[in-house]
Amino acid sequence: MRHKKAEVFLIATAVMATLLCLCLLHGRVQENLRADELAKRSRMVEELMLTDLALFMEARYTRHLSLADRHSAFQDHPMSLEHFPAGSLAGPPPHLTGVER
Amino acid sequence: MFTGHRERNILEFTLSSLLRRRGKHLALVVIYTALVFLLASVMFFAGSIREEASIVLRSSPEIILQKMIAGRQDLVPMRYAEVAEKIRGVQRVSPRLWGYYYSPATKSNYTLMVPDNFSYGDGHIVIGNGIARVMSAAKGDRISLLSPEGDPLTFIIAEVMDSRSELISSDLMLVSEGDFRELFDMPEGYVTDLALSVKNEKELSTIARKLSELLPGTRPVLRDEILRTYDAVFNWRAGLMITLLGASVFAFAIFAWDRASGLSAEERREIGILKAVGWETSDIILMKFWEGAVISLSSFLMGMVFAYLHVYFTSGALFWPVLKGWSVLYPEFRLLPHVDLYSIFTLFFLTVVPYTLITIIPSWRTATMDPDEVMRA
């Protein structure tokens, strides 16, 4: 008895598993190829004394998340609550919410 | 595993059975693949950002000293630098001049900074690639920024920063100290904050404590805290992760519950017939195992491959609307692949294994019953 469907399934699974392995391999190769790029960014951070990634740029306390303080989310007065969408994605840094020095 | 003829026969039968109800099972594979895709995309995206932040921000200043007045950050007098410099273990104190500039024309916020050695001099500016894109500006062009009094200050663009550094420099503008002070009307002798260089990392917390004692009203932010910030934001418990993962895990739970809660009448009848024609309980369990494995393994592999392509070849295009929020200026960056095998195995054991087991349990219950009873039920 020929197992046509089983063979097709096993071949398809092997192809998909190979594709996944190729993706992982691509990741490793890229990590090595782009090491210089990463080193350049590290140098830039050192030279300009940068502290944050430019990821959430709509509010000052999300642009420089690590330098935010407990009050920055209140904007202009105590009832003027934080309203930027990034505020709900990027929570306050742990040194503000955890045990402070 | 596939050496046995019995296994192959059962797999063949399982696939034929799945294909008989192809509409239902195809829909199942699509939903399952979408779930794995979303979970894996979040995992790849967060992992890469965390890795990038942990490597790049390791070069940040060891301590940033801010002055706080009434809960808000205030300008630091330069005499604070002299006090900090005298603390044992502090190697160097560098004043930092930086601030935000809102451009009404492009409706975006820029970060203006004064680098240590700005070689281009007054009247020149270096801009991030994101700003160049939003303003459609290039090297040699002139741009004007408004002072608090509304007076325009014109700058010649001396350089546009490398597009490959957008993740840290997209909204940066570098100017000379003189221009910065003139633009923001900032008094001489004051800076935004101080960056402290410390030789021995073990002394950081002691130096931070001394700073707080000698300069009350100041707040030292340690490099370790900067690094922990990004680790926390892109941790699975944080806002972004919990929003995306919570919805996905909840959807998966409903989906799995539906499978676990029982078999359809048609499936029960099929099991009854198979038992009646002589199938063993173990054959039926093996068939159901294959049914679960075929669906979950295919969905897992497809979801993972699609997620990888999504995050590293389109830079996570589906996440952009979420990450952009209200910001006009957004960096265009290619994430550096960071694939963690541990996370892949975790995802595998959280999706494929429970689904396969869930498929077996109700079938096992039915398969142990009398065939006559199963078919009549």
Q: What is the pLDDT of residues B283-306, one digit of tens each?
A: 888 888 888 888 889 999 999 999
- Same domain, residue pair A44 and A90: no
Chain B residues with CB under 8 Å of A18 CB are: none
Chain B residues with CB under 8 Å of A17 CB are: 301
> pLDDT band at residue B67, thresholds of 50, 70 and 90?
very high
- Beta bridge partners, B219, equal B66
- Same domain, residue pair A29 and A66: no
> pLDDT band at residue B143, thresholds of 50, 70 and 90?
very high
> What is residue A25's three-state secondary structure?
helix
The stretch B243-253 carries a mean pLDDT of 74
User: In chain A, which among 16-75 make CB contacts under 8 A with chain B?
Assistant: 16-17, 19-20, 23-24, 26-28, 30-31, 34, 37-38, 40-58, 60, 63-67, 69-72
- Same domain, residue pair A66 and A97: yes
Tokens representing B175?
């100017």
- Same domain, residue pair A31 and A76: no
For B357, left (φ over 0), alpha (ψ -120 to 50), or beta? alpha
**What is the structure's pLDDT at A76?**
64
Q: What percent of chain A lies above the pLDDT cut of 90?
A: 30
Chain B residues with CB under 8 Å of A41 CB are: 52, 56, 164-165, 167-168
Q: Please give the Cα distance from B372 to B377 (Å, whole number).
A: 9
- Same domain, residue pair A89 and A68: yes
Q: Is the pLDDT of residue B87 over 80?
A: yes
The stretch A47-67 carries a mean pLDDT of 86
- Of A64, A39, A50, A47, give the one whose Cα is nearest residue B118: A47
Q: Is the pLDDT of residue B177 over 70?
A: yes
- Same domain, residue pair A45 and A25: yes
Q: Is the pLDDT of residue A99 over 60?
A: no
Instruction: Say yes or no: A83 contacts chain B, CB-CB below 8 A.
Output: no
Q: H helices then E strands: how many in chain A?
A: 5, 0
- Same domain, residue pair A43 and A87: no
Say whether A6 and B12 touch across the interface (CB within 8 A). yes
Say whether A66 and B226 touch across the interface (CB within 8 A). yes
**What is the structure's pLDDT at B80?**
93
- Same domain, residue pair A4 and A31: yes
Q: Which domain holds residue A94?
A: 51-101
Query: Pairing between strand B108-114 and B172-174?
Result: parallel
Stronger pLDDT, B273 or B127, i.e. the higher one: B127
> pLDDT band at residue A101, thresholds of 50, 70 and 90?
very low
**What is the structure's pLDDT at B339?**
82
Q: Please give the Cα distance from B361 to B368 (Å, whole number).
A: 11
Tokens representing B129?
């690639």
The stretch B272-290 carries a mean pLDDT of 83
Q: Which of A18, A38, A67, A84 to mutate to test the interface with B (most CBs of B within 10 A)?
A: A67
> pLDDT band at residue B128, thresholds of 50, 70 and 90?
very high
Q: Please give the Cα distance from A41 to B53 (Å, whole number).
A: 10
* Per-residue pLDDT tens over the stretch B7-19: 788 888 888 888 8
What domains sit in chain B, N to C, each tagged with a CATH number?
5-56+233-376 (no CATH), 76-191 (2.40.40.20)
- Beta bridge partners, B154, equal B144
The CA R_g of chain B, rounded to the nearest whole Å, is 30
- Same domain, residue pair A67 and A85: yes
The stretch B255-282 carries a mean pLDDT of 77
Q: Is the pLDDT of residue B274 over 70?
A: yes
Return mean pLDDT, chain B: 86
Q: Measured between CB atoms, which of B15, B208, B240 is closest to A101?
A: B208
- Same domain, residue pair A36 and A9: yes
The CA R_g of chain A, rounded to the nearest whole Å, is 24
- Same domain, residue pair A78 and A96: yes
- Same domain, residue pair A46 and A69: no
For chain A, the domain total comes to: 2
List phi, psi (to 5°) of B98.
-155, 160
> What is residue B152's three-state secondary structure?
strand
For B325, left (φ over 0), alpha (ψ -120 to 50), or beta? left
Query: CB–CB of B125/B138 below 8 Å?
Result: no
Q: How many Å lie between the alpha carbon of A99 and the closest alpha carbon of chain B?
A: 12
Query: CB–CB of B144/B94 below 8 Å?
Result: no
- Residue ending a domain, among A33, A50, A67, is A50
